[in-house]
Structure 1
Amino acid sequence: MTPLVVYAFSPRVGDLDLYFRTARAFLTGATPNQDFRFEYPPYALLWFVPAAWLRSTQWEFVPMFGLQLAIMDGLIKWALLREGARRWGREWRSVVPCLAYSVTSWAAALYYLKRYDLIPAVLTLGALVALARRRDGLAGLALAVGIVTKLYPVVLVPLAVAVCWKRGTLGKLVMGLTLGVAPLVPLSFVWPWWGFASFHVDRGLQVESLGASLLWAAHHLGLVKGVLWVHAPAAYELHGAVAEGVRVTTRWLWVVGSLGMAALGMWSVRRKMPERVEDLARLALGPLVAFIILNPVLSPQFLTWLMGAAALSLLSGSRSVAVLVLVAAILSRGVFVGPTYKYGLGIPQTLLLLARNGLLMAAAVLLVRDAWRRASASNVAPGTSAPPVDFIPVATEPVAVDPASVGLATQRR
């Protein structure tokens, strides 16, 4: 954690200036989306307030909020180490998820500790671990708080519903979700918190999105004219008639693709229940990757949403998707090398961006294939060979089994 802690206390501001100004305005009595624009879901502001309350200037706020994010980073790594130890004990492979995550976070430090996306990422990972441990109420609560902090965890709700429905514990999940969003009811009387949605509906084609990267590459090749690289209020975007057409098409693909991947995950769970936390993490990567790579807005910090689940899926089974996702997160750093990001990516950075987006698309395709195969494996006919396991049983000699204990052992899995 040391390199990240050092960077957390660096004077680099990033988006922290926005967080500080909105939190200070809120503390002085201003109402978000009424007295000032607030582009995030309402709980996000509540995460900004403590550091802004303790420190009255931006330069004091930056290290204080950085410390808050460093703690979140520590929680993720602790969870990965803990799950590795539960799965493999003291074997070397138990630390692989944490090491892979650490290397990726070091490479992504430019945005990793200068954006608040690490907070919902902790909540999302916590929800997955809680769901795997059958603490479904806690999983629902973590998901709900994550949704009202950054919105994107909403794509995991169908997966959680499918798992809890099959377990017969859907009521616990719903209770957790309800508790997480309940504060929005009284909040609605003093704060038009839903106003953040209109800001995002009006956003254009962000330059790092899949459609924008392909369009900008076509622009470099001279295949498309009239493509403008514009500094919009929240990000750099591509403007022009062709860019607008790509934006509209991408939005439809984003909605259909995200819903389709969520439905595929639910179907996979219905056919075969995930047995281990890494299986659940791989299923969660499906809707998350689709939501990101098909989105007309793709900021570099969005990769933070994937890193925890990708690292967790390294515990066992196929590791191809995890490697693709983590390498993509590392490659994102290279897009910002040099000044070209402000005026239009040069050819080397454009190729790197295409490679990054290509890795995420490849991961999405593999996730669809794996979910389909996983569900199909539940239909193996009696007498046929079962899919190979990814571990060697410890006991190889016949062991007497008490029939009365079989049901209990099945319930503990």
Structure 2
Amino acid sequence: MTVAVAATVAWQVSGHAVTDIPLYHAYGERLAGGLVPYRDFEFEYPPGALPALVLPALVSDSLSGYRVVFAAEMAVAGAIGVLLLAAGLRRLGRARDDRRTTLAVVAVLPAFLGGVILTRFDLVPAALVAGALVLLIGGRLRAAAVVVGLGIAVKLYPAVLLPLLGVVAWRKGGRRELTVVVALSLAPVAVAYLPFLLVGPDGVLDSLGRQLGRPLQIESVGAGVLLALHQAAGIDLEWASGSGSQNLRGTGADALAVLQGIAQAAALALVWVSFARGPATVERLVRHAAASVVAFVALSKVLSPQFLVWLVLLVPLVGGIRSRAALWLTALACALTALWFPARYWELVKEFDPLSSWAVLARGLTLLALLATLMWPAREPEPARSRSPAPSPGRT
């Protein structure tokens, strides 16, 4: 986390930081003042994010103090996430040299993501997902289901892991185990949302609806295609701010947003079906978990830089012959992001800066290559039976 702190401070001092801290501070102050999110003010995140946002406001009233406490809070979450990643690598039986290489690469990545890694709360759900994978590697399916549910309550994306848990549960104990695992996964989400559904149902539904109906954000892979066409063929582009991001607008952008939504759903379904058609071994579970999150990120209509934080603590767990390629593609995606964010972000938005435009496309293609790498058929090592989350088909 030393690199993350140094990079975050450097961007703040440089004056180029693009941060959500003022928004978080406003939320925290309202919460500390007794206002209820969803009912008394619009709140775009799941309710599980509230503790991370309100704690710094309880410690400090000033924006500068809030910024310091929030960054410290995320540094702790990141350190826990790295420790969980290291534990997962050990439980998977990775060689010591491989573990050192992996952790060294992960330690450097905050230099590329310094503009977001400690100024967004994405390290919290990322650490929860890493913790869930460690539990799954150890065969603790039910505990992992609870942790995944906590992750969903903080940021919705861990929901893409639920079908994988369902497959493992069915293989392990049939309908009864599946029912238990689904209930344990949804319980934290229900506990988080239910009070707000009772006092502010319209605000909760509006929050969820805004996430589903967002337009084509300017850093998505579809936007990268349009930006490249703008540079190469001179097609006209327009942008506008809305839904908490800067987006491309127009018929082409709207059509690509729809196509990306369809492609995202199809890619996720293919990942889940692929896992269901093979043995539920630890290595396959880890790989398909990483592929699920990568598919969600790569084909999302919104691809903010902080989404890459979700991959940094997950993709390095993938083993086998594809492990190095997956690790380096993740690093490349982070490095390409650093070409425009945060220093050239507004040049990208307002001027469709050529370097940034091509970098957006290259980052999108890199993430698609990462997805292909994770899903490409290859022989994988069979883990020891004690490390399997569930018996493979035909075993008892």
TM-score tier, shorter chain, comes to 0.7 to 0.9
What do residues 5-60 of structure 1 show as CA deviations (whole Å, max 9, x unaligned)? 34556755711111111121122222223322111111112321111112112111
2:225 aligned residue (190, 214, 223):
214
* Residue identity in the other structure for 1:215: L
Give yes or no for the alignment of 1:318 onto 2:322.
Answer: yes
Shift of 1:273: 2.1
Q: 1:89 & 1:251 partners in 2: Cα distance?
A: 36
Q: 2:83 & 2:58 partners in 1: Cα distance?
A: 28
Determine if contact 1:13/1:114 at 8 Å carries over to the other structure: no
Q: 2:292 & 2:380 partners in 1: Cα distance?
A: 26
Question: SS of the residue aligned with 1:30?
Answer: coil
User: Which sits farther off after the overlay, 162-171 or 208-217?
Assistant: 162-171
* Residue identity in the other structure for 1:117: D
* Residue identity in the other structure for 1:265: F
- Relative distance call for 1:204 and 1:102 in structure 2 (3 A) is same
1:43 aligned residue (34, 48, 51):
48
User: Which sits farther off after the overlay, 2-11 or 203-212?
Assistant: 2-11
Q: 1:4 & 1:62 partners in 2: Cα distance?
A: 14
Give yes or no for the alignment of 1:272 onto 2:283.
Answer: no
- Relative distance call for 1:149 and 1:228 in structure 2 (3 A) is same
Give yes or no for the alignment of 1:170 onto 2:181.
Answer: no
- Relative distance call for 1:47 and 1:266 in structure 2 (3 A) is farther
Determine if contact 1:80/1:97 at 8 Å carries over to the other structure: no
Shift of 1:411: 4.7
| 1:250-261 matched pairs, under 5 angstroms | 250-261=260-271
1:330 aligned residue (335, 342, 345):
335
- Relative distance call for 1:204 and 1:154 in structure 2 (3 A) is same
1:196 aligned residue (198, 207, 215):
207
- Relative distance call for 1:3 and 1:388 in structure 2 (3 A) is closer
Q: 1:117 & 1:366 partners in 2: Cα distance?
A: 24
Q: 1:368 & 1:410 partners in 2: Cα distance?
A: 23
Shift of 1:389: 5.0
Determine if contact 2:219/2:360 at 8 Å carries over to the other structure: yes
- Relative distance call for 1:5 and 1:283 in structure 2 (3 A) is same
2:106 aligned residue (70, 78, 101):
101
Shift of 1:132: 1.2
Relative contact order higher in (CA < 8 Å, ≥ 6 apart): 2
Query: Percent of aligned positions with the same letter in both sequences?
Result: 28
Q: 1:355 & 1:162 partners in 2: Cα distance?
A: 34
Aligned to 1:81: 86
Count of aligned pairs: 374
Question: SS of the residue aligned with 1:238?
Answer: strand
Give yes or no for the alignment of 1:356 onto 2:366.
Answer: no
Aligned to 1:234: 244
* Residue identity in the other structure for 2:322: S
What do residues 136-174 of structure 1 show as CA deviations (whole Å, max 9, x unaligned)? 222111111111211011111101111222122435523
- Relative distance call for 1:317 and 1:26 in structure 2 (3 A) is same
Q: 1:80 & 1:135 partners in 2: Cα distance?
A: 16
Shift of 1:342: 3.7
Question: SS of the residue aligned with 1:231?
Answer: strand
Shift of 1:73: 0.9
Aligned to 2:2: 2
What do residues 214-252 of structure 1 show as CA deviations (whole Å, max 9, x unaligned)? 011112223533x20323351111112222222222222
Q: 1:326 & 1:284 partners in 2: Cα distance?
A: 18
- What stretches of structure 2 of length at least 5 have no aligned partner? 389-396
Aligned to 2:135: 130
User: Which sits farther off after the overlay, 318-327 or 58-67?
Assistant: 318-327
Shift of 1:275: 3.4
Shift of 1:175: 4.4
Aligned to 1:289: 294
Question: SS of the residue aligned with 1:189?
Answer: helix
- TM-score under structure 2 normalisation? 0.86
- What stretches of structure 1 of length at least 5 have no aligned partner? 374-386, 392-408
Look at both structures and tell me which one has the larger radius of gyration over its CA atoms: 1
Give yes or no for the alignment of 1:249 onto 2:259.
Answer: yes
Question: SS of the residue aligned with 2:119?
Answer: coil
